[in-house]
Amino acid sequence: MLARQLSKGPALSALRRKNPLSIPRAFAVRNASTASSSSAFESFLNSRLTLASVSLFTAGSVAWYTHLYGSLPFLGQVHASHASEEGLHPPDYPWPHAGLIDTFDHASIRRGYQVYREVCAACHSLDRIAWRNFVGVSHTVDEARAMAEEVEYQDGPDDQGEMFMRPGKIADYLPGPYPNEEAARAGNAGALPPDLSLIVKARHGGANYVYALITGYVDPPAGVEVREGMNYNPFFPGGAIGMARVLFDGLVEYEDGTPATTSQMAKDVVTFLHWAAEPEHDDRKKNGIKAVILFSTLTLLSLYVKRFKWTPIKNRKILYDPPVDKKH
Amino acid sequence: MSFSTTLYNTFFRRNSIFVGTVFAGAFAFGIGFDTGATAFFDRWNRGKQWKDIRHKYVEAAEEEE
């Protein structure tokens, strides 16, 4: 047996060497065997379903690309505006609350409120935050009440139908610097300082953008003309912003002794504004981690139960037990 | 008496006991899970939340009064 196998190999190769025609024949045989699958391939290529699905896939890809990037693929575009018109993209800063289960740094929120009150509040309102919102976040009840009482609010009418002024209550909203939008524009050379309540949600890049903007003031590069009264900031779309740089080292004096550098104040005030835009942030993350744990446990449980129930069904073997012929 | 028999006689035999066990178990699990998740969350965010820095300002306010 072994000898036969040994002798077979050389004999075959010798045969092939002697008869070169046998090799093309082998190829021909192989071609004949693949011919059927080739015709199946051709019928696949020619089928309407293939045509329809490929067309659908192509149209879908183009639509998806257009939706994602805002322009058709493989078509060059010429823009009248420069890329700087869009504003520089802000970098990702390592916020203390950046992680999936990281809360705000509440000491930073408290310092940020101080910066807002002493610096930003000269021009920017914070309409949607009431004094009571600070309680349990950055200030105690007594502190919030004391801050509210420093401001006079109009109330009324009283018995005589007159409006009167009264010290603020804890449920009052933070006062704005201007009585109305026209006064705000008139005080800022026509530029309206936006309300800061939701500014972190309202700008692309969120907190990163606001931080980059208020720390990003530089001299305009050569060839860039900035109009009188405007300031150059590469992060602001268009480059020219009505607001001047306001944060300089040592501008405020923190009560907890933190050195008030420009970047520290910017970080604190942006953390504060982030809290103002998303006051539910901490609870959201806490409930999120709980929901993830519960739902993943339930998912694993349901997968296990499914396998448990299906195991006997999937592993069963159906045997045909033929009837025994009783006549024999 | 085996464990399963004990289990059956204790919890599953009467529907009132069974439903009561489910409700009480859900209640206990709710409290326990909430406590555990909160403990982990506070540990992770140690020093950042208001309750961690509150004592500084509450004491200061009491001294003023």
Q: What are the tens digits of pLDDT across the range A199-211?
A: 999 999 999 999 9
Q: Is residue A76 part of a domain?
A: no
Give the integer Cα–Cα distance in Å for A86 and A79.
Answer: 12
Q: Is A102 on the interface with B (CB under 8 A)?
A: yes
Give the integer Cα–Cα distance in Å for A260 and A245.
Answer: 16
Q: Is residue A265 part of a domain?
A: yes
List the binding residues of A for heme c: 120, 123-124, 243
Question: Residue B65: closest CA among chain A residues belongs to which residue?
Answer: A142
Pair of tokens at residue A141: 């009840």
Q: Is residue A148 part of a domain?
A: no
Given a cut of 80, whether residue B63 has pLDDT beyond it is no
Question: Residue A287: closest CA among chain B residues belongs to which residue?
Answer: B37
ipTM of the complex: 0.84
Strand partners of residue A139: A135
What tens digit of pLDDT does each residue of A25-68 get? 444 455 554 555 568 888 888 889 999 999 999 999 999 999 99
Report the number of distinct structural domains present in chain A.
Answer: 1
Residues of B in contact with A298 (CB under 8 A): none
Mutation site, A103, A109, A282, A287, interface B, largest B CB count within 10 A = A103
The whole-angstrom distance between A259's CA and the closest CA on chain B is 18
Give the CA dihedral A146, A121, A269, A204, nearest 10 degrees: 140
Give the integer Cα–Cα distance in Å for A320 and A312.
Answer: 18
Question: In 10 A of CB A119, how many CB atoms?
Answer: 18
CATH topology of domain B3-64: 1.20.5
What tens digit of pLDDT does each residue of A246-258 get? 999 999 999 999 9
> What is the CATH classification number for the domain harbouring A201?
1.10.760.10
Contact criterion met (CB below 8 Å) for B48 and A96 = yes
Q: Is residue A306 part of a domain?
A: no
User: Which range marks the domain in which residue A89 is found?
Assistant: 84-129+174-282
Mutation site, A142, A256, A275, A301, interface B, largest B CB count within 10 A = A142
Q: Residue A290: which of B37, B44, B50 has the nearest Cβ?
A: B37
pTM (2 d.p.): 0.76
Residues of B in contact with A271 (CB under 8 A): none
The highest-confidence range among A33-47, A224-238, A279-293, by mean pLDDT, is A279-293
Structural domain boundaries of chain B?
Answer: 3-64
> So what's the pLDDT on residue B60?
60
Question: In 10 A of CB A52, how many CB atoms?
Answer: 10
Q: Considering only CA atoms, which of A243, A78, A139 is closest in space to residue B61?
A: A139
